[in-house]
Amino acid sequence: MKIRVTWGVGEGPTELAAFDKALYNAGIANFNLIPLTSVIPKNSKVEVKKVNWNEKAYGAKLYLVLSKCVETRKGKEACAGLGWIQSKDGKGLLVEHGGSLKEVKKKIRESLSFMQSYRKEKYGRINEKIVKIECKGKPVCALVAALYRIEKW
């Protein structure tokens, strides 16, 4: 299974509009999003590659792990990130965090280190994709998404 990690940022007149703009920038605005917990199935390959699926399968279901952060305070940053680890057979774990860049990096490492501490699998290094955007007055949103599968109705 191929899991694609895409990302986007957006600004808009409302928090929801900024979120939609970030989804559009990430290439996934026209799907119905179905959030998943953060487990990577066996035999999976995670690929960090921005997609442009805005005109693909309009209205279809998109299964994903989503990290998003919205900011409305001028001069502050919205930062979102996904981190993941995988074993040699492709099984793995994903975590999603938002906040400041420093917080996101720290939380990704702390979460994955703890989560693997009580599992029997041996995982490789921690991977991450983090994006940020500064609020200049209007609401902003940063997001990173791990895309699992598209399903039509």
The DSSP result for 21-81, as a single string, is HHHHHHT-TTSEEEE--SEEPTT-EEEE-----TTSSTT-EEEEEEEEEEE-STT-EEEEE
C-alpha R_g of the chain: 15
Q: For residues 23 and 100, what is the distance between their CA atoms, to the nearest angstrom? A: 20
Partners of 20 in the β-ladder: none
Are residues 125 and 113 in contact, defined by beta-carbon separation less than 8 angstroms? no
| pTM greater than 0.85 | yes
Burial tier of 115 (Cβ tally within 10 Å: 0-12, 13-18, 19+): middle
CATH architecture of the domain formed by 2-151: 3-Layer(bba) Sandwich (3.50)
Amino acid identity, position 34 = I
Of the candidates 23, 3, 5, the residue with the CA atom closest to the CA atom of residue 15: 23
Every domain of the chain and the residues it spans: 2-151
User: pLDDT tens digit string along 102-118?
Assistant: 999 999 999 999 999 99
Are residues 152 and 57 in contact, defined by beta-carbon separation less than 8 angstroms? yes
User: pLDDT tens digit string along 9-52?
Assistant: 999 999 999 999 999 999 999 999 999 998 999 999 999 999 99
Q: Which residues contact 96 (CB under 8 A, 6 or more apart)?
A: 38, 65, 66, 67, 80, 81, 82, 144
Residue 29 has a pLDDT of 97
Strands 32-35 and 92-99 come out as unpaired
pLDDT band at 97; cut points 50, 70, 90? very high
